[in-house]
Amino acid sequence: MPKYYLQTYGCQMNVWESGIVRRVLADAGFAETGDERDADVLLMMTCSVRSHAEQRALGRLGTFRSLRSERPGRIVGVLGCMAQRLARSLVSDHRADIVVGPDEYLRLPELIADVRAGTSGLVATRQTSECYDSVLPARGLSPSEASSRSAVSAFVTVMRGCDNFCTYCIVPHVKGRERSRPLAGIVSEAERHVAGGAKDITLLGQNVLAWRDGRRRFPELLGTVAAALPHVRIRFLTSHPRDLDAELLEAMRRPNVCPSIHLPVQSGSDQVLARMNRGYTREKYLAKIALCRRYLPEVSLTTDILVGFPSETEADFKSTLDLVEQVRFDYAYMFRFSFRPGTGAEKIEPKVSEADAGRRLSRLIEVQNRITAERNRELLGRTLMLLIEGPSPRDSGWLGRTVTNKVVIVKGDCAPGDLVRCRVERINGWTPVAEIPARAAAACSGKA
Ligand code: SF4
């Protein structure tokens, strides 16, 4: 039986898409190996969101090429967003045998067979409006279920692509336009995860609030999944601020929907937001934050922030810092602008120097890290319901997750999948540490 090795770079969407690749290859008679030297086919699932991610993947491709030269007949393939974006140049400049974009994974066995038969340098990057959820069953394959953060936490992709065309973002160019999966398929995939032991399900999409199934919108999907799985924690990711409304927040009041929202702001400056084509102003964003806190007083809010976007001045950056201080996010993913060829930002001037962008990013990280530590210190002495995901990689404790999506180190007798109620005794760095007085697994009661 031929063996393949698959390395995944990038976001949770890529983890889910790697699951599709695994399903397709398993169906075609391939076995996965965790040892690249043992593999007949070396594959990488790539990300194009930042140039750094592409550079890492290209570096790894060099290793794959060396492994290929050690064993004639070994095949090297690049999959995903970078495959879609760079396409033929991955063959001509980087000597990949197969290049497969996000809509073409079903062709992988056929492409591998063609390379074995002597045709090298195959590129499959056709984009379609179909969703794998409809295509896989039509070809006698079951949908992917290989996506999870741990044995107890699973991800279910509900839609792919994005129509927003933020000027810094490559996603609509490589993943294509928005395509939603039908509601029934999503519910049954979530149910299968739960039957397999999952206790925490995240509904995933590049722009999840844009999900549609006929006249149904995302709040109905959220409510339906939550009602079908009343003992499971339900989350979703990622939300565009423009699409967040009272109907969504009302749906989030269900007991097993987690009060946690990732709401990327990107900048606190109106002129930068307009040039990013984000579709909201600072004032409107702050109004959405206030709405979230009115409906869900315990809500945790996280965000993405980009600094050094072309045209960003010191005053714009200060507006971002000011917004961060005002909102007091629980956590933020902070990045320096990374130019992506073909995006709208290409034409926006003036560019921000690397030195200024780096200095602004350091300052932002300093401010947000202080706020994150302060927010976590608010948990000190509180009793929380924690879902144990697995052993902590850094110490002898366990990793537990709150409904507000905070990771807590748990000390005591427990096991993955346990839901334990325990008190936060101290803060280590900025990580809360809780202790279980005795083994205490309980039925999931949703919010704590
Ligand atoms: S909403 Fe904007 S940033 Fe998010 S995936 Fe779509 S284009 Fe990219």
| Residue from 50, 162, 343 to probe ligand 1 pocket by mutation (most atoms less than 8 Å from CB) | 162
Which is more confident, 219 or 119?
219
> 172 CA distance to ligand 1 centroid (A)?
7
What pLDDT score was predicted for residue 438?
Answer: 61
Q: Could you give the C-alpha distances from 442 to 144, 221, 388, 446, in angstroms and in order?
A: 30, 27, 12, 11
For the residues 156-182, what does the mean pLDDT come to? 92
DSSP secondary structure of 140-179 = T-PPP---EEETTEEEEE-EE--S---TT--HHHHH-S-E
165 lines ligand 1 (CB under 6 A): yes
Q: Report d(CA 166, CA 114) in Å as an integer.
A: 38
Q: Cβ distance 72 to 97 under 8 Å? A: no
For the residues 213-224, what does the mean pLDDT come to? 97
> Which residues lie below 8 Å from residue 340, measured CB to CB, with a gap of 6+?
48, 49, 50, 51, 168, 169, 170
Whether 134 shows a pLDDT value over 90: the answer reads no
Whether 236 shows a pLDDT value over 60: the answer reads yes
Q: Report d(CA 159, CA 141) in Å as an integer.
A: 19
> 405 CA distance to ligand 1 centroid (A)?
22
CATH of domain 147-258: 3.30.750.210
Q: Which CATH number fits domain 291-378: 3.60.20.10, 3.30.70.270, 3.30.750.200, 1.10.10.60?
A: 3.30.750.200
Q: Among the atoms of ligand 1, which is closest to the Cα of residue 162?
A: 6
pLDDT in tens, 381-391: 999 999 999 99
| Residue from 85, 206, 244 to probe ligand 1 pocket by mutation (most atoms less than 8 Å from CB) | 206
> 245 CA distance to ligand 1 centroid (A)?
18
Q: How far is CA 373 from the centre of its chain?
A: 23
Query: Residue ranges per domain, the chain?
Result: 3-124, 147-258, 291-378, 383-435
What pLDDT score was predicted for residue 441?
Answer: 44
State the pLDDT confidence band at 17, using cuts at 50, 70 and 90. confident
For the residues 186-211, what does the mean pLDDT come to? 93
Whether 446 shows a pLDDT value over 60: the answer reads no
Q: Does domain 3-124 have CATH number 3.40.50.12160?
A: yes
Indicate the pTM of the whole model.
Answer: 0.89
Q: Among the atoms of ligand 1, which is closest to the Cα of residue 163?
A: 6
For residue 327, give both structure tokens. 């909102």
> Which residues lie below 8 Å from residue 279, measured CB to CB, with a gap of 6+?
164, 240, 242
For the residues 265-291, what does the mean pLDDT come to? 98
| Residue from 12, 166, 280 to probe ligand 1 pocket by mutation (most atoms less than 8 Å from CB) | 166
**If DSSP states are collapsed to H, E and C, what string results for 344-407?**
HHHHCCCCCCHHHHHHHHHHHHHHHHHHHHHHHHCCCCCEEEEEEEEECCCCCCEEEECCCCCE
Q: Report d(CA 46, CA 35) in Å as an integer.
A: 19
| β-pair partners for 262 | 302
169 lines ligand 1 (CB under 6 A): yes
pLDDT in tens, 338-372: 999 999 999 999 999 999 999 999 999 999 999 99
Q: Among the atoms of ligand 1, which is closest to the Cα of residue 175?
A: 5
Whether 415 shows a pLDDT value over 60: the answer reads yes
DSSP 3-state of 419: strand
State the pLDDT confidence band at 142, using cuts at 50, 70 and 90. low
The dihedral over CA atoms of 342, 343, 345, 346, expressed in degrees to the nearest 10, equals: 0
What pLDDT score was predicted for residue 128?
Answer: 77
> 171 CA distance to ligand 1 centroid (A)?
6
pLDDT in tens, 298-336: 999 999 999 999 999 999 999 999 999 999 999 999 999
> 219 CA distance to ligand 1 centroid (A)?
20
Q: Among the atoms of ligand 1, which is closest to the Cα of residue 172?
A: 7
What pLDDT score was predicted for residue 229?
Answer: 98
For residue 315, give the H/E element and its range: helix 314-327
Whether 158 shows a pLDDT value over 80: the answer reads yes
Q: Report d(CA 311, CA 269) in Å as an integer.
A: 11
Q: Cβ distance 21 to 108 under 8 Å? A: yes
What pLDDT score was predicted for residue 388?
Answer: 96
Domains 147-258 and 291-378 share a fold: yes
Q: Which CATH number fits domain 383-435: 3.30.70.270, 2.40.50.140, 3.30.70.20, 1.10.287.3510?
A: 2.40.50.140
State the pLDDT confidence band at 120, using cuts at 50, 70 and 90. confident
State the pLDDT confidence band at 445, using cuts at 50, 70 and 90. very low
> 25 CA distance to ligand 1 centroid (A)?
30
Whether 147 shows a pLDDT value over 70: the answer reads no
Q: Are strands 41-46 and 75-80 parallel, antiparallel or unpaired?
A: parallel
* Average pLDDT over all residues of the chain: 91
State the pLDDT confidence band at 129, using cuts at 50, 70 and 90. low
Buried b (16+ CB within 10 A) or exposed e, 268-279: bbbebbebbebe
Instruction: Please give the single-letter amino acid code of residue 139.
Output: R
What pLDDT score was predicted for residue 215?
Answer: 96
- Cis peptide before 238, with omega less than 30 degrees from 0? yes
pLDDT in tens, 58-83: 999 999 999 999 998 999 999 999 99
What pLDDT score was predicted for residue 172?
Answer: 93
